[in-house]
Amino acid sequence: MERSNWRRVGTMVLPVAMLSVLTPALAQEAPEGSPASQPPALPPLAAPGDLPPGVPSSPTAPEVRLGRFFDVPFDGARPANPGEAGPSRPYEIIPTLTARLFATDNAFPGSSRGRADFVTSIIPSLTVTADSARIVGRATYSPTAVFHANSSGQNRVDHRFLGAGTISIVPGSVFLDLRGTASVVPIGGGLTSDLPETFPRRDTAQNFVASASPYWIHRFGSLATSILGYSFTYATRQGDTARLSPGALPFFRPSEFTAHTGFAALRTGEDFGRLAVEARVRGTLFEGTGTLDNAHRALGIVETRYAVTRNVQVLAEGGYEDIAFNGTPRFRVSEPVWGVGVRLDPGPNTTIIARYRRRDGFNSPQLNARVGLGARTILFARYEDRLQTQLVQTADLLETVSFDELGNPVDSRTGAPVPEIGGSGLLTQQNGLFRTRRGDASLTYFLDRDTFTLTFRHEQRRVVALDPGTAAFSQESNSAGLIWTRALSDQTSASAQFQYGRFSTPGIARDSDGYTFRATLRHRFNETLVGSIQYQLTNRSTSLAPFATQLNPSGSLQNALIATLTKRF
C-alpha cells in the first residue's frame, strides 16, 4: 500500500483509537441500579453554537511564580489529589441518535441550480469523557448521512470529530497527548449558515487532522521545570478540484501534510520570586503538497514575565526564527524576533493577554482575552496575525483546544470559545500560503430566563505564495450576529438568531453580503429525548461555489423548515 493510503487509513482510525483509549471501562458491565446503568440526562436546551445558560468558570489564574508553561500547549494531565474524592464516574460513554428533516424551496443557495428539495440527515454520535488519575479527555464523533429526495447525486456522508486527551504513562513525568478533528466546510464560501444541508456536494471540503505527542516533564524542586517532547501531525483536506472558470488554474484541490515537531522548554520556579523566565525551542519539518513540500519552521526564544502585582505581569521576549515555505515565490525568513506585552488577571473570571511582537517576518498585535463585566456579562476577544496555509491553521488551532466543564471546546489559556476548527463558511477554501489576520469577539448577557449574545468576526487573507499549478486570491470578510435564547419552562426554550456577513474578493467578484435568520422552538419530552422545530431564511448573495464565470448568480434566497429529534441512550 502506498504511503499516502496508509496516512488516510491512519487518520480514519484515529477517532476510534481515541474513543477506545478514553474508555477502558467499556467492557465492564455496571451493576443493576448503579449510576452507570441509568440513562444519562440530555444536555441543556441549547442549539449548536449557543452559549450554555450560566457563566462558565474561567481557568484558574496562574500563581506569580508557578504555573503552566507560557507557550507550550502541554503540561501534563491533572494529577489526582489523594485528599479529595475523585469523580463519581471517571469514564462516561454517551451515545445519541439525531434525525433531522430539512424542507427547503432552494437546496443550492447562491448557485444557479436552485430547486426545492426535502433532505433527511441521520446523525449517530458517540461522546466519551475520561477524568481519572491516568486519563483526562473528551472525544465526540458524529458522522452525518445526508439524503436528498430530488437530488440523489447530492447524497453523502460527512465526518465530524473533535477529541483531546492526555494519558499519564509515568504519573507526573511521562505523558501522551492525543488530538484529532474532522470538519466539513463549503469550498466557495459566502455562507453564514453552518447546517451541512446548505452545502452542495461539489462545494464541500472534508478536513482531517490528527496528532500524537509524547513528552517528558521533570521538576527540579522549586528551582525550575523542564519539558521535552515530540509531536507527529497528519492533516488532509479532501474535495473536488475547483476552478473559477473552465480551463483556469484551480484555486482549490485536495492536499495533505505530515509534520514532525520537536520541542523543549525550561521554566523557572518559585525560587525566582516575582520573576519568571522560560527558554524554549521548537522546530517543525513538513512533508506535504504545494508550499509545504520540504517546508520548515524553527524558533528559539527566551520569554520573561515579571509580576508587578499578583494580578499584573509584564512580558518581554526575544529570540531567533527560521522559516521556509516552497511555492511561487519561495518564502524564507531568517531573523531575530521580539515581543512585549502584559497579562492581567484582575478577577476570577478575567484573563487578558495582550502583546505586540515580530513573528513570521512582520510586526503585529496579538490578543487573547476573557473579561467578566459584572456577574451577568462576559466578553471574549481574540486577535492574531499569522503566516499559515489553511490546513496548517486548522492544526495549530487544534493544538490549543481543551474542554470546559460543560464539554464546550475552549482555548486552554483563557477559557474563551474557540472559532470553528477547520474554518467557517465565510471565506473560500484555497491552496497556498497566506498572511491571515483574524479577530473574534463576543459579548454575552445572562438573565434568569434569557441569554443575549452579540458576536463579531473579522478575517483577512493576503496571498504570500502559490502552490505550483494553482491560482489564489486575497479575501476579506466582516460578520456580526445576535443570538437570543429564552427558557419558557423547565422543558421548553425558544431562540432567535441573526447573522450578517459582508465579503470582498478584489479583482474576482464585487463586494456583496449574506445573512441567516433562525427562529427555533425546542422541547424536552423526557430525560433522554429532545425535539425542535426551526425556520431558517438564508441569503447567499456572494459565492464562488458555482466555480464559473458567473460569480454572483441569482436564486440565492433559501427558506427552510427544519425538524430535529435527538435521542440519548
**pLDDT tens, 383-436?**
999 999 999 999 998 888 888 777 778 877 667 777 677 677 778 899 999 999
Q: What is the pLDDT of residue 47?
A: 36
Closest alpha carbon to 389 in 457, 298, 299, 323: 323
Q: What is the pLDDT of residue 374?
A: 85
Closest alpha carbon to 564 in 41, 5, 46: 46
CB proximity list for 448: less than 8 A, separation 6 or greater:
none
Q: Please report where in the chains the cell 500560503 appears, as a residue.
A: 433
Radius of gyration of the chain (CA): 24
Q: What is the pLDDT of residue 200?
A: 77
Closest alpha carbon to 538 in 508, 510, 501: 501
Q: What is the pLDDT of residue 181?
A: 94
Cell matching residue 15: 477517532
Distance CA 183, CA 15 (A): 13
Regions of the chain with pLDDT less than 70: 1-67, 77-88, 109-114, 413-414, 419, 422, 541-555
SS3 4: helix
Q: Do residues 18 and 178 make contact, with C-beta atoms less than 8 angstroms apart?
A: yes
User: Torsion angle of alpha carbons 449, 454, 509, 466, nearest 10°?
Assistant: -110
The correct CATH number of 3-27+94-568 out of 2.160.20, 2.60.40, 3.30.1380, 2.40.170 is: 2.40.170
What secondary structure does DSSP assign to 480-532, as a single string?
EEEEEEEE-SSSEEEEEEEEEEEEEETTTEEEEEEEEEEEEEEEEEETTEEEE
Distance CA 105, CA 114 (A): 8
Closest alpha carbon to 456 in 402, 508, 419, 496: 419
Beta strand pairing call for 255-268 and 275-288: antiparallel
Q: What is the pLDDT of residue 114?
A: 63
Q: For 360-508, where are the E strands, in sequence order?
A: 362-372, 377-388, 401-403, 409-411, 433-446, 450-465, 475-487, 492-505
- The amino acid occupying position 132 is S
Q: What is the pLDDT of residue 154?
A: 86
DSSP state of 244: S
Q: What is the pLDDT of residue 55?
A: 46
Per-residue pLDDT of 101-156, as tens digits, reads 999 988 776 555 567 889 999 999 999 999 888 899 999 999 999 999 988 888 99
**CA angle 535–116–111, rounded 5-degree value:** 95
Q: What is the pLDDT of residue 6?
A: 45
End-to-end CA distance of the chain: 39
Closest alpha carbon to 193 in 416, 487, 517, 544: 517
Q: What is the pLDDT of residue 22?
A: 54
